[in-house]
Amino acid sequence: MDRRDFLKAIAVAGATITIKPSKAMHVLMQKTTAAPATGTVDMVAVMGGEPAEMFQRAIGELGGIKQFIKAGQRVVVKPNIGWDKKPELAGNTNPELVAEITRQCLAAGAREVVVFDHTCDECRKTYKTSGIEEAAREAGATVVHADQESRYRPVSLPMGKNLKETKVHEAILDCDAWINVPILKHHGGANLSISMKNYMGIVWDRPYFHSHDLQQCIADVCTFSKKPVLNVVDAYRLLKTNGPQGRAASDAVLTKAIFISHDIVAVDTAAARFFNQVREMPLEKVGHLANGEALQLGTMNLDKLNVKRVKL
C-alpha cells in the first residue's frame, strides 16, 4: 500500500470519533516505512491519541524538537486563532497542541516562545474563546496581539506572481525560528485552509489577497524568505463545512490526526487527501497547492518522500 492508500484507508464519517482502521490499514501500521540509511524522514502522520501525545510521537520520529529549535532562540508558534469560537467548532487550532509545542520549544532551550495570530474576529475575544491564550500562557509562552498595523513591516516577495510585497508582523521578522500550526478546515474562498493559508495570519493587508486571485496570493506569500522550520497540521478535529468559522458542532469531525513536515506543499497535500475522506474536495480546487509547487515551495508528489506513518 502506498502513501496515497494510507490516507484512503482511513474511513471517517459523522461528527464524533469515527475512525475505523481497515484490515489494510492494520497491515500498513505493522509495516511502517523505515527511514532510509541517512535517517531522514520527510513527513510524519500520526493517527489516534490526544493532541499533546500525537505531537510528542511525531516530533520524536523527526529526531526531536532540538533538530529544529536551538537553545537561546526566540521562537514563534503561529496557530490559527482567527475566530471567536470554542475548540469544539474547529475554527481554530487546538489549544492543547499549541501548549505542547510551546513546552517542547522551551525545554529545548528557547529563550522565549511567542504565540500570535492576526485574527478575523476581535483578537481579545478570539484568544480567550479559542482557549489558546490561556493554554499558551500556562505553558510559558508570551501571547501578543496582532491588531495594530504599526507592528507590521514591509517585505518584498520577488518570486511572487500577483503579490510582490506585503507587510509581515514583527514577531515573525524578529524571531529566530517559527513553527506554523494551522488547523485543517474547509474555507469558503480557498476551499481548504491549511499551512499555506495560515500565512495570511502573519500579514496585515489580507483584503488584497481576496481581490487579486486568492489561490495565487496564498502561494506567493509563502515565498517569503523566512520559512517555518516546521509545519504542524492539526487534524484532531477538522471543519468539514461552513468554514473558515464553523457554525455548529455538526460542522466538525473528531478525526484525531496530525501531519508534520518541513515541506509545506507536501504536508498540505497529505492533509487535503485526508480531508477528502470526510468530504470530497478535489485537489485541483485547492489551487494554491499546485501554485506553490510551481513556485518550487515543495512537492505534491508524496511518493517522492519518506513518510513515517504511526497509529497510537
For residues 120 and 125, give the distance between their C-alpha atoms in angstroms, rounded to a whole number.
11
Integer Cα distance of 7 and 273 in angstroms: 7
Helix (H, G, I), strand (E, B) or coil at 46: strand
Residue 6 has pLDDT above 50, yes or no: no
What would the grid cell of residue 229 be? Answer: 522550520
> What is the reported pLDDT for 39?
58
pLDDT at residue 36 greater than cutoff 80: no
CATH top class, domain 40-311: alpha beta
Q: Backbone dihedral region of 37: left (phi > 0), alpha (psi from -120 to 50 degrees) or beta? A: alpha
The pLDDT of residue 28: 31
Mean pLDDT, residues 91-116: 98
pTM over 0.95: no
Task: Give the pairing of strands 177-181 and 165-169.
Answer: unpaired
How far is residue 198's CA from residue 148's CA, in Å, rounded to a whole number?
19
139: Cβ–Cβ under 8 A, 6 or more apart, which residues? 98, 99, 100, 102, 103, 106, 113
pLDDT, residue 25, reads: 34
What pLDDT score was predicted for residue 228? 98
Burial 148-186 (b: 16+ CB within 10 A, else e): eeebbeebebebbbbbeebbbbbbbbebbbbbbbbbbbb
203-257 pLDDT, tens digit each: 999 999 999 999 999 999 999 999 999 999 999 999 999 999 999 999 999 999 9
Distance CA 240, CA 3 (A): 22
- What is the rounded CA–CA span in Å between residue 21 and residue 47? 10
